[in-house]
Structure 1
């Protein structure tokens, strides 16, 4: 891979490659038998951050909660039934590594039975903002009304912010993978930018 001097440095500093890590010797990472997908999944787990992504930081409570991407007292309760459990891909468990005849190894993510209280959660809101921002669609709120513009906006915002959090985590994992083999002293721009 050849980097242009005018590209952003892959270490995550936010500087141009020519002004940052160009000429710095790479540390060769230890050899591993794990496929790149497994290494990336491990980095993703380590890159999960507790932060509040709500724009109003002045009223932010320090306690970050496991906010639900799908409403716990509505959609998740229906999916969980009387048992109140669902099955999800479990990124916290090490994947099964299946050797193929052609020599490749394919990672298979395990499925786990999860309580609806723990399903589809991310640590991307403080307790106050998770409650206030989504109260129009949470417990006690009426069912979805397609003519209610505020309700439609809050559903869209919730979908967007949870996807944004996942993408932010992916970026941090990518920077972590690159900077683990890069000897750049820069602080990761993404941590300064995103952390509450």
Structure 2
């Protein structure tokens, strides 16, 4: 795994290597992570540490990366940009002289680009990991689960490179009009953050989303970035405008759904869908032990498809009940609630 974490700069044409490559933060340390820390620590999955081996099936231990305390200087980092380009490209969302009170098109673009970049780097690392594993232990090429995951990673990198072409061109031409972002504001500081590039399997009403292009077979991605600012918080959901033939209805739901339903959707969808969930220790300590165990299981379980199916079914029921005004969406009644406001 360590050998798979290569150093490179994803900025198009950059040849930097070695010491010129830095530990770039997906979520900026001073501007975002510092709002979540307690004693400079936050909770997240740490894939640089050894996993916990647990027996789900007797005699077959499996690796699980549980949420643990991580120092914010080491949180959400990857060696995917050189210092020059990390500073220059992302200044308007990371430097203190630029406000985030009202996000402009360039800032929305940069948040989406950064989320995309870290996902692309992660998939490059995963591909390198499998190649190293196959080279050093050739017998693993006979294990179908490993081969299947490797093939999926290769296909995902191919699809993400389609987006890289868009982002590279947009950065060069300073044209940010090719991407659309839903901006959902929470009127207080939340105590968690998240970033992920995903193809949502279903929408807020639990309806299936056909995210594979029928002609090109390309997977269409949506870019989520969720974080607290000074006195409010943002949920940013971005997609290429050309992909709105797939995600247009999904975006309309995000624009028009009650905030309670959006909070519920995020509350149950995020833990099952991302490896980049960051939680404040204050929020973590406010949950019961059973709620903490539930979150650990949701984020660490590599086979979350069944749980996601349950979420989809429940969202379908909510959509039916809402038409009859028979149900109220309230995350405060859930075992864990991500939307507890920050308190000093």
> For this structure pair, what is the TM-score category when the shorter chain's length is used for normalisation?
0.5 to 0.7
1:75-108, Cα deviation, whole Å (9 max, x unpaired): 1111115x22212222222222223563321323
Do the aligned partners of residues 96 and 115 (structure 1) sit closer, same or farther apart at CA in structure 2, a change above 3 Å counting? closer
Once the two structures are TM-superposed, the CA of residue 56 in structure 1 deviates from its matched residue by 3.8
Q: Which structure has greater strand proportion? A: 2
Q: Structure 2 residue aligned with 1:90, among 46, 57, 77? A: 46
Matches within 5 A, 1:184-195: none
RMSD: 2.3
- The reply to whether residue 69 of structure 1 matches residue 57 of structure 2 is no
Q: Distance in 1 between matches of 2:136 and 2:74?
A: 31
* Shift in CA distance, 104/142, structure 1 to aligned 2, threshold 3 Å: same
1 CA distance for matches of 2:112 and 2:101? 12
SS in 2 for 1:55: coil
Q: How does 1:60-139 map to 2 (within 5 A)?
A: 60=16, 63-81=20-38, 83-100=39-56, 102-139=58-95
Q: Which has the higher contact order (CA 8 A, sep 6+)?
A: 1
CA distance in 2, matches of 1:92, 1:164: 18
After TM superposition, the structure 1 = structure 2 runs for residues 153-192 of structure 1, keeping only pairs within 5 Å, are 153-182=109-138
Counterpart of 1:178 in 2: which secondary structure?
A: helix
TM-score by length of 2: 0.37
Contact 2:93/2:107 (CA < 8 Å) preserved in 1? yes
How many angstroms does 1:144 deviate by?
5.2
Aligned to 2:265: none
Equivalent residue pairs, number: 137
Indicate the SS of the match to 2:108: helix
Measured in 2, the distance between the counterparts of 1:53 and 1:113 equals 29
Higher helix share: 2
8 A Cα contact 2:46 2:70, kept in partner:
no
Inter-CA distance 135–172: structure 2 relative to 1 (3 Å threshold): same
State the alpha-carbon separation in 1 of the partners of residues 57 and 82 from structure 2: 48
Secondary structure, aligned partner of 1:99: strand
Structure 2 unaligned runs (5+)? 139-153, 155-344
Partner Cα distance (2:110, 2:56) in 1: 45
SS in 2 for 1:57: coil
Q: Deviations over 1:7-52 (max 9, x none)?
A: xxxxxxxxxxxxxxxxxxxxxxxxxxxxxxxxxxxxx332001111
Change in Cα spacing, 1:74 to 1:175, as seen in structure 2 (3 Å) is: same
Cα distance in 2 for partners of 1:177, 1:150 equals 40
Question: How many Å apart are 1:111 and its aligned residue?
Answer: 4.1
In 2: Cα distance, 1:55 partner to 1:144 partner: 30
